[in-house]
Amino acid sequence: MLDLVAGKLSQMTPQLQKAASWLLENPTDISISSINELARAAGVKPNTLVRLARTCGFDGYDDFREPFKEEIRRGHSNFQDRAAWLQSLSRTGNLGSLYADMAASTISNIETTLSDTSAEKLKCAADAIVAARKVYVLGVGLNYALARTFSYLAEMALDNVASIPRDGSLAIDDLARASHQDVLLAITFKPYRTEVVDAVEVARQQGVQIIGVSDSAASPVIAGSSHGFVAGTDTPQFFTSNVAAAALLETLMAFVIADADAEVIANIKDFHERRHTLGIYYSDQGSIA
């Protein structure tokens, strides 16, 4: 789109050139601002933007604007741009389209993520977890909750799982005694967190098996790892979506439980029975059971 506008620049009238030049320098604003706001910022009349769209082969300005909006919906922009676009939807009362886009991207991410892996790949990763002396699960920032949830579920059945970094510690310190007998499950998405990438590199040097979960096969936690899983993260929101990664990790946990011996089922049963006995779960009778 930008190349198209730039290619026609020399053929435009002075007013169209003025509008086109401003849009070429501020392409994100096309998706987040109204036509009147853009016209004021560019120093032209709104009708000039309509004529610009038609000069580029579009029926109207809305058709011209759509590819720029799609670029943000697909996540190909920075956090600030996407946040501004969301606010623009609120100003125009167009939150219905945001709801539809959120639903579509969530479903698409999960479908793409699970279709791009296989039962065989998941079983291989689950085998490594079950056979490991110790399993370290690493996620920070947005992915801290993913790592902690996986560890929480695993700890009900297994006694070899730990979420890192521990409070007041560094991930690389927590891996100081890790070896080829151990597994590191590392989660990070663009922009990749340095402490996760560094921890993965240290673990590799120590012979630890790496299970990487990220948004690209070229991610530093997947490339060169024993097991790698790519999770879809596209979203119209300003932050990275981790819904598909959560679905992937839940599926991996199901494979871990299926892969373990009968003692694991007994461990899960004992875990919940003890919680009921201690009154941790709320009873249906309206009192603590």
The contacts of residue 79 (CB under 8 Å, 6+ apart) are 238, 239
The contacts of residue 32 (CB under 8 Å, 6+ apart) are 72, 81, 84, 85, 87, 88
Does pLDDT of 95 surpass 80?
Answer: no
| Continuous segment of H or E residues that includes residue 157 | helix 144-157
Torsion sign, CA atoms 136, 139, 145, 146? negative
**What's the pLDDT at 230?**
95
Average pLDDT over the chain, rounded to an integer: 85
Does pLDDT of 273 surpass 70?
Answer: yes
The β-bridge relationship of strands 227-230 and 209-214 is parallel
For residues 80-92, average pLDDT: 64
For residues 157 and 143, the model is more confident at 143
Length of the chain: 289
User: In the block, which residue shows the tokens 């694991």?
Assistant: 264
Tell me how far apart the alpha carbons of residues 29 and 2 are, in angstroms, rounded to a whole number.
13
CATH 3.40.50.10490 residue window(s) in the chain: 108-261
Does pLDDT of 38 surpass 90?
Answer: no
Does pLDDT of 197 surpass 60?
Answer: yes
**What's the pLDDT at 287?**
41
Tell me how far apart the alpha carbons of residues 107 and 248 are, in angstroms, rounded to a whole number.
13
**What's the pLDDT at 90?**
62
For residues 91-106, average pLDDT: 76
Tokens of 1: 């789109």
For residues 90-101, average pLDDT: 71
**Correct CATH for 2-78 of 3.40.50.970, 1.10.10.10, 3.40.50.300, 3.60.70.12:** 1.10.10.10
Contact 98, 148 (CB under 8 A): no
The band of 288, judged by pLDDT with boundaries at 50, 70 and 90, is very low
* pLDDT tens digits, 141-155: 999 999 999 998 888
What percentage of residues in the chain have a pLDDT greater than 90? Answer: 46
Third-level CATH fold of 108-261:
Rossmann fold (3.40.50)
CATH 1.10.10.10 residue window(s) in the chain: 2-78
Tell me how far apart the alpha carbons of residues 225 and 94 are, in angstroms, rounded to a whole number.
44
The band of 3, judged by pLDDT with boundaries at 50, 70 and 90, is confident
DSSP letter, residue 280: -
Does pLDDT of 76 surpass 50?
Answer: yes
